Amino acid sequence: MSTLITHATIYTGDATQPVIESGYIRFAQQIEAVGPMADLVVLPTDEIVHAEQKIVVPGFIDVHTHGAYGFDTMDGKAADIVQMVRDQITEGITSVFPTTMTQAVDKISQSMIAIDEAAQVEPAIVGVHLEGPFINPHYKGAQPEQFIIAPDADLVKKWHELSGERVRLITYAPEQAKDLASFEQYLAEHNIIGSIGHSNATRELLKNASKASHITHMYNAQRPMSHREPGVTGHGMLEENIHAELIVDGFHILPDMINLAYKLKTAQRIDLITDSMRAKGLGEGVSELGGQTVYVKDKQARLADGTLAGSVLEFPDAFRNVMAFTGASIQEAVQMASVNQAEEFGLTQKGSLVIGKDADLNIFSHDLSALETTYSLGRKFTPADAVVKEG
């Protein structure tokens, strides 16, 4: 039995046929056929979903998410991580990098073990993002300063092995490394992408000494761009090979600055992320991040001193916001939400709606105002499936 979606406008994420105005897509766990309605031959085994005036896009890929719906990666519990990811699937995120934060070494180790166990149960877990503890205290953001240490390749090796070799992205401050070349060499040899984040590095250091090809939540918690020092943000803008994460909630970055990044980086080098924390999906109230009390109000999560503490951003809002703030097309938003991440991290089965790839896709209303259904490896999820807990 295969699912057959008909009469939809399909944004494939594939450069050879990016948009199919009135199309169909057939899938089970993988995509079996996709094309215009004029070419459709209905099979006896098809379970038909009529999608007139609907829009279909690839499933979203979030490479930076700490927690959601009452759970946190750092809790170190495999069953909770599985549930966290499945709740996130209901908002269209079909591929997830559970993300750590700066904590004690043993606590990060336990988190790696739990992610490895969870990934053997939930296939939407396709990588791990280590954010910290190798950061600069000057730009710690909401990361607990007492656990910050210098970049250490031996620790990365340990955590990579504990995770089942799932670490794909690591945030660090290059200026804090005692031997940056050796640290980055280990990353390169193990297919781990280095990301500059929570860093006070200068453009000169980054240009001449670092091979990092990614910027963690660009603009936020890093040396800013100024007229005499480009800083981390300016380096990210200037280097064409660098992918830049953006938290497009309108709070972490003002819309005009999101538009600036879009104009300079273009849709080809922007990765939309949520950087979400435990409180996402729970409404307003008091929550927690890394042992710190977090207050959620007006769709913002902040520490007592006002510091932004991750986000409660849901991915469909990021998807819509990037178009509203920049004038980007749906096709370009798909590029920033799915295609770039799949290409950057070598997720060859993800990111576009092409025959043979995994059946990860989202069905939206005609105006994108509502995410109606998500399929992850052909498994059906709806927003109503999310487990909503007390805040």
Residue positions annotated with a catalytic role: 275
Please classify residue 313 by burial: count the beta carbons closer than 10 Å to its beta carbon, then call 0-12 exposed, 13-18 middle and 19+ buried: buried
Give the integer Cα–Cα distance in Å for 112 and 128.
Answer: 8
Closest to 142 measured CA to CA, from 244, 66, 193, 206: 66
> Nearest CA to 374 among 366, 364, 388?
364
Cα distance between the two ends of the chain: 40
The DSSP string of 161-190 is: HHTTS-EEEEEE-GGG-SSHHHHHHHHHHT
**Measured distance CA(313)–CA(274) in Å, rounded:** 5
Tell me the C-alpha to C-alpha distance, in Å, between residue 277 and each of 142, 292, 300, 362: 11, 12, 11, 23
Candidates 20, 23, 62, 6; CA nearest to 376 is 62
Two tokens at 98?
Answer: 């559970």
Is 253:220 a contact under the CB 8 Å cutoff? yes
Nearest-angstrom CA–CA distance, 240 and 238? 6
Please state, in angstroms and rounded to a whole number, the distance separating the CA atoms of residues 308 and 302: 4
Whether 212 and 134 have beta carbons less than 8 Å apart is answered as no
* Closest alpha carbon to 169 in 20, 342, 345: 345
Q: By C-alpha distance, which of 288, 280, 386 is closest to 74?
A: 288
